[in-house]
Each structure stands twice: as structure tokens, then as C-alpha cells.
Amino acid sequence: MRIRFCLAALTLVGGAGLTTLSAPAASAAACSDIDVVAARGTFEPGSLGAIVGDPVFSALQRKLTGKSLSSYKVNYPADLSLTSAAQGNSDLVNHVRSQSAACPNQRFVLVGYSQGANVVDNSIGISSAGAVVGSPIVATIPAALEPKVAAVLLFGNPIRAIGKSVTGTYQSRTIDFCAKGDPICENGGGDVLAHLGYTANAGAAADFAAGKV
């Protein structure tokens, strides 16, 4: 399993092709207090993502005991195609729009790992164009729904390697983890395995989100 993840990370850095793991379509969430919307990394298996999404959701469940939680797996290829991140960007924004209409009191925690961080960046108005597996913005969460986003949790965020970060409206609600040497988020980083260790940050991410909801 670790070798498979390592190959996926190396693919991100070097651009070699791998067979895409198909992503099942996620169903709409019920009217919970908090909907955790997770965009997985390139070729990442797991319900919400084995390295980040699943561990973060579990940590949030333990931390936010007084609130009901639901989850949504952003439906996008998470592969190396030029439109992959853009498809995720569109799906994430559409999900937030539809859930907000169906559940007016629901709030959101957005989670993005690797390419999934590009998806989240774009959705909150920070373009990932020019970053590894990035894309131009194709949709943004409407300003009227912006207060419903309680927290943004990013891991191995590729825009950091091109000198960008989340600024503006969402900055104070965002925590952005970049492991030392991670070549996906650190310009000049050379430790591919660092990109695979973000499960260790799940607890800290949940603590941060708990302080925002």
C-alpha cells in the first residue's frame, strides 16, 4: 500500500502515467450540522481519501461530539488529466450550492489534499493554474454562501510551491499543512515520502476546525 502511494506521489512530481482508479459518485448529504466536503489527492483510494479525508473525518467526529456530521466525497477524476481539478472545482461548488438550498442551517468544512487542495483553492477563489495538477477557476462559492464555510483544511497544497497561498476572505478560516521537503507544496523539496505523511496532522486539523464551528 505504501509503495502504491509512493508511486502516485512520484507521478505527481514526474508526470508519468498510471491507471486511474475510478471514483464512485457521492450522494448528497443529509441536513447535518456540519458537512465535511473532502477532495482526495491524485489516485488516492479510500472513502474520502485514505491519507487525509478519512482520518480527518474520524478526528472531527471525535472532536465535535455535540454536532451531527455528514460527509461528501468530491466527485472528480483525481487523475493527471488537464481538466481533473476543474471538474472537482465545479462539483464542489455545485454541492455547496445544492446543500445550502436544501439545508439552510448547515455549515461546511472543506478538506483538500494534494490535487484536492487545488480543487478547494479554486472553489474559494484562489486559482491553482500553474501549480502541479492545477487548473484555472471554473466556479466559486457564491459570496452569499461564504459565511457557511466554517473551516478550510489543506494538506500538501500545490499552490504553495509556486509562491501562493489562501488570502482574503477565507484566510483566517484556513489551515494549510506543508511537510518539510514535500516536493508538491515546497519549491525545491526532495522528500517524496513527506507528501504521504499527512495523516499525522488529522488531529491538529480537527482542533483547528473545532475552533471555527
What residues have CB less than 8 Å from 143, skipping those under 6 apart?
none
70 is annotated as an active-site residue: no
Q: What is the rounded distance in angstroms from the CA atom of residue 14 to the CA atom of residue 17?
A: 9
In what order do the strands lie in the sheet containing 69-73? 69-73, 34-39, 107-113, 149-155, 174-177
E strand spans, the chain: 34-39, 69-73, 107-113, 149-155, 174-177
* DSSP 8-state class, residue 184: T
Catalytic residue among 70, 71, 114, 135: 114
Other CB atoms within 10 Å distance of the CB of residue 173: 20
Report how far apart the first and last C-alpha atoms of the chain are (Å, whole number).
34
182 is annotated as an active-site residue: yes
Rg, the chain, Cα only? 15
Catalytic residue among 71, 90, 123, 195: 195
* Active centre residues (catalytic): 114, 182, 195
